[in-house]
Amino acid sequence: MTEIIDGNAVAQRIRDDLGDAITTLEAEAVTPTLATVLMSDDPASETYVSMKQDDCAEVGIEAIDVEIDPDAPAQELYDEIDRLNADDNVDGILVQMPVPDHVDKQPVLRRIDPEKDVDGFHPENVGRLVAGDARYKPCTPHGIQKLLEAVDVDPEGEDAVIVGRSDIVGKPMANLLMQKAVGGNATVTVCHSRTDDLATKTRAADIVVAAAGVPEMIDGSMLSEGVVVIDVGINRVDAETEKGYELVGDVDFESAKQKAAAITPVPGGVGPMTRAMLLYNTVKAAGRHNDVSVSLP
């Protein structure tokens, strides 16, 4: 029997468990506060931000919604980040990516106070993650670690193959899985667009994390029996639905399921965990910022 890993259920557990930490903060008169900054009129980005705002409201995190005209000069975004860095009521800052083409992403990431960088993308936080002393683990790979833990998959000694080397998923995932720490200790191979003979690599894996952004590119023939498959991909493909599209992952779910011991669905796998771990990092940031010791799930 293949286990279908229920990301919604695990994310709900994490949200519930964050309640204790939020109660501890409230007892010290601290309301954890996340500022989301949107400089885009892309409907997908707008949806992501509004979902994050809703998630905050559900668990008792205050969400500040900052919107900047996508045609405004980059300086306007910089000034807003400076203002939020200086605002003592703000614990976490998230700038929704992508920013418009005329705004350089790297200076934006570097400008956010690393203590408020709940995405974990500031170079200081990336460095700390690599050094094995993470302040805020990036939400998607951290969520994947929690999913593996929830289904009793210990990466220790396992061969993990990650397909994708992006700064937000592939690279931090590789780092977390290779760390000499609980939830790590795997032997990690990172594959990407220039990888030769991907199928030979994925077939040798005990754990496959697919994060390439290519619809259903990994099918059952590329996997071995008993593999654990984590599908990060969220791809819109044309379909005869009301919206005219459907969401599929980077894994061909039906054929992969025939081989896998456990597999995440899309939607309902990794996505809800990414959202839950943003709340986790915000609560952690509020504890650090206000010098309140909180116990995190």
Give yes or no for a contact between 175 and 223, defined as CB atoms under 8 angstroms apart.
no
Measured from the Cβ of residue 167, the count of other Cβ atoms closer than 10 Å reads 12
- Least separation in angstroms between residue 25's CB and ligand NAD is 26
Q: Which of 52, 137, 201, 284 is catalytic?
A: 52
Residue nearest to ligand NAD according to CB distances in the complex: 166
Q: Which of 55, 91, 96, 171 is catalytic?
A: 96
- Taking each helix axis from N to C terminus, what angle separates 123-130 and 170-178, rounded to the nearest 10 degrees? 30
Which residue, 45 or 85, is less far from ligand NAD as judged by CB? Answer: 45
261 to each of 101, 233, 256, how far by Cα in Å? 42, 19, 10
- Least separation in angstroms between residue 5's CB and ligand NAD is 13
- Least separation in angstroms between residue 140's CB and ligand NAD is 4
- Least separation in angstroms between residue 264's CB and ligand NAD is 9
Which residue, 270 or 294, is less far from ligand NAD as judged by CB? Answer: 270
Q: Is 119 a catalytic residue?
A: yes
Q: Which of 119, 231, 250, 252 is catalytic?
A: 119
| 152 Cβ contact list (under 8 Å, min separation 6) | none
Which residue, 142 or 259, is less far from ligand NAD as judged by CB? Answer: 142
Strands 207-210 and 228-231: parallel
Give the three-state DSSP class for 92.
strand
Which residue, 59 or 212, is less far from ligand NAD as judged by CB? Answer: 212
| Angle ∠(92,162,197) on CA atoms, nearest 5 | 150
Nearest C-alpha neighbor of 55 from the set 121, 95, 8: 8
Query: Rule CB under 6 A: which residues touch ligand NAD?
Result: 140, 163-166, 168-170, 191-193, 195, 198, 211-214, 217, 232-235, 270-271, 274
- The catalytic residue positions are 52, 96, 119
